[in-house]
Homo-oligomer: A and B are copies of this chain.
Amino acid sequence: MVTPNPEFPAETEIPDEISGLRMTRQRQEVYRILMHERNHPTANDVFMRVKDRLPHISLATVYNCLEALVQHGIIRQVNFDRESSRYCSNLSEHGHFHDSATGVIHDISFKPGINLADVLDLPSGAIVDGVEVTL
């Protein structure tokens, strides 16, 4: 089931460059899908869908695009257990709630004013780089 995001219709212009990454046609279309479908698709989901617009694209290219976008902080990669990676264009600091009954992933956020260092016993000198809370 597709939940189109009205803020990003299929025709949304995507710039030639984002955060220093040259946005090729393939990267644009992959990124557009992630903005459009906020349901944390897998690389394969993206591949299936992007073929509507780029019939010649290969799965390897989808992986390449996703990796480039992740590397440049344009999207996030989310992993649950050993399931296939999912990708997400919601960059705000948030965690993921994996509904084990339906398999659906919901975004969750920290309540305002919560600081990680306040709730966790971290090794001294630790610099937190990224957090993944999985429920």
Contacts and interface: CB of A to CB of B under 8 A. Distances in A.
A23 to B, nearest CB: 25
The number of chain A residues touching the other chain, given as a range, is 20 to 34
Interface in A83-135: 85, 95, 97, 100, 106, 108-111, 114, 116, 118-123, 126, 128-135
A125 to B, nearest CB: 11
A122 to B, nearest CB: 6
Interface of A: 77, 79, 81-82, 85, 95, 97, 100, 106, 108-111, 114, 116, 118-123, 126, 128-135
B122 A129 contact: no
Given A79-B82, A97-B126, A121 B109 contact: yes
A75 to B, nearest CB: 15
Contacts of A95: 120
